Amino acid sequence: MTTVPTPTATDADVQALHAAVAVARRSRAAGNHPFGAVLTGPDGDILLEAENTVTTGRDATGHAETNLVRLATAKYDADFLRTCTLYTSTEPCAMCSGAIYWGNVGRVVYALGEDELLALTGANEENPTMALPCREVFRAGQRPLPVVGPIDLPEAREIHTGFWN
């Protein structure tokens, strides 16, 4: 079990989170759940982005973060991915956290917390939220995986408004 102190968000982190929320907005506009993720390299440049595709792809594993890890591991090697940061509009679920860990991503930053998402969605059958914070999943691993979040971005909550009703 690895314990990692919680670092604070930088201005660059907040800027990349805005990009992840924009991807989430596009995901919703495309008929999917309002989640988005981006991957930045060690210099902070956005390398990849991915939307949620659960609905249009008819794939329960089509979460934005898992889609992003699939793209990233196909394009980059593990050593490079350890220097990258995954930014996501909402805290990664247990499944996505496992994918992020096994995909060797080096750091995670998220806006809306899983607990906040549950408060917004309630017991919606389209999003059966698990009360399992990503930090707990990562802590069970054998390598440290720093996490920053939740970061208060009102637009990360707003993209869910009216969606889960």
Annotated active-site positions, please? 65
Q: Quick check: 13 and 26 in contact, CB under 8 A?
A: no
Q: What is the dihedral of CA 71, 95, 37, 18, to 10 degrees?
A: -170
Residue 7 in 3-state DSSP? coil
Cβ pair 100, 131 in contact under 8 A: no
- Per DSSP, the residues of 100-123 read HHHTT--EEEEEE-HHHHHHHH-S
Reference 34, options 23, 44, 45, 43; nearest CA is 23
**Distance separating alpha carbons of residues 117 and 121, to the nearest angstrom:** 6
